[in-house]
Amino acid sequence: MSHEIIAIDGPAGSGKSTVARAVADSLGWSFLDTGAMYRAVTCEAVFRGIDINDQNAVGDLARSATISTTPRVCVNGRDVEEEIRSEPINVAVSVVAANSQVRESMVARQREMANEQTRGTVVEGRDITTVVFPNATLKVYLTASLEERSRRRGEEGVESVARRDQADFTRETSPLRQADDALVLDTTGRSIEDVVGEIIQCLKNITSS
């Protein structure tokens, strides 16, 4: 595994994906969107007509599914880049992401993906700093006001984002929480460039000390 990993956690709409991609591009590192992996499993379950509340069936699906997130999100060869952001998936993904079997499978895959990289890796999600990569070079926790996060999520709306927050913070397996040693950044009203610059500067401070 590359010895350098930037792990970015935070609630829905906090800017994780946008910031993580920009940081990876700036550093020339690889990027891994773990949330897209859970959404891909959810899409496949819905596509196959599997009850998302059937933990064993969805767990089996997660273990057998072929998932890729670059350049577009695909599951079992099917492009789901657009589908993963649809309202039905926004609602269902919380149930799938709370499935301990699914999380176990996805965490193992995420570690394997990082292990395959020869460069550093920027990974974003909701349990990256606390569960997947607790020894990451730099841990970042992004947040923003509910109103700002809802605006960024477009059609998803305040109620949907608040519902996702509740599910993420209270799920039994790998709940979203802020790592004690994470760099906490409130992205409300801040530009992407500003946030990315602060993260990269923090990384430089860590690696040069």
pLDDT digits (tens, 9 = 90+) for 88-97: 998 899 999 9
What pLDDT is stored for residue 155 in this prediction?
67
d(CA 5, CA 164): 26
- Inter-residue contact 62 to 102 (CB < 8 Å): yes
Q: CA angle 202-139-111, nearest 5°? A: 130
Q: DSSP state, 85?
A: G
Structurally, how many domains does the chain consist of?
Answer: 1
What pLDDT is stored for residue 154 in this prediction?
79
What pLDDT is stored for residue 156 in this prediction?
75
The parts of the chain modelled with pLDDT lower than 50 are 1
| Tokens 């430089």 -> residue | 204
Q: What is the CATH number of the domain that holds 200?
A: 3.40.50.300
Report the largest interatomic distance among the alpha carbons of the chain, rounded to a whole angstrom.
Answer: 53
Enclosing domain of residue 71:
5-208
CA distances 26 to 7, 181, 201, Å, are 15, 24, 12
